Copies of this chain bind each other. A is one copy, B any other.
Amino acid sequence: MARIPAAERRAALVEAALRVVSRRGIAQATTRAIVAEAGMSLASFHYAFDSRDELIDELITTVVAREQQAVLPDELDGHDLREMLEAGLLRYFDHLRADPEHEQAMLELTQYALRSPDRHPLAVAQYARYAELAARSLAAAAELTGVVWRTPVEQVARVLIAFTDGLTLTWLVARDDDDARAVAHAAADALSRMADPR
């Protein structure tokens, strides 16, 4: 095995772990499965990380930070707010369909974090980050379409996150595209009605 500095190895292991969790679930993401995916030995694992838990924690924070650009539309389109929101949700849906295992992995990581008091803050931070990004998009959308949010945009953002999660979970189970689009449509409708013309 080529010699790789510990810092790079940490990153490689996190990537390998994400692939394993996506493909086989977090329960199957054992230290051995992860090092096999990364093509290294067990000793390298524990040279780079003190424990599996430490790796999982880093996996969660890494992956959350990266979600940033994936979910956020870099450009908003649509003529009015409702259309713009629906386009955004459908964009997320495309993202979900393109890599369902990834979103399933994110869901599993959240639930995993929820189970231990030590890790609970990670799940909360994950959602706070999502909400922050959503709030930024919602503020921009309101600006562009000349409306103002009736309730604080942070709360609208959290409603959007809830709708997105629901869409994800339902589609992952049923894999019904029409249902998912109906959810996106209804969600966009509901959200757009939380704003008033300026």
Interchain CB contact under 8 A, A182 and B166: no
Known contacts being A166-B166, A182-B155, is A174 close to B115, with CB within 8 Å?
A: no
Which residues from 135 to 160 on chain A have a C-beta closer than 8 Å to any C-beta of chain B?
151, 155-156, 158-159
Q: Is A187's CB within 8 Å of the partner chain B?
A: yes
**Copies of this protein chain in the complex:** 2
CA distance A157 to B159 in the complex (A): 19
21 contacts across the A-B interface (CB closer than 8 A): A25-B111, A27-B27, A104-B111, A104-B114, A108-B111, A110-B173, A114-B173, A127-B170, A127-B174, A155-B179, A155-B182, A158-B176, A159-B186, A161-B166, A162-B166, A165-B166, A166-B166, A186-B190, A189-B189, A189-B190, A190-B190
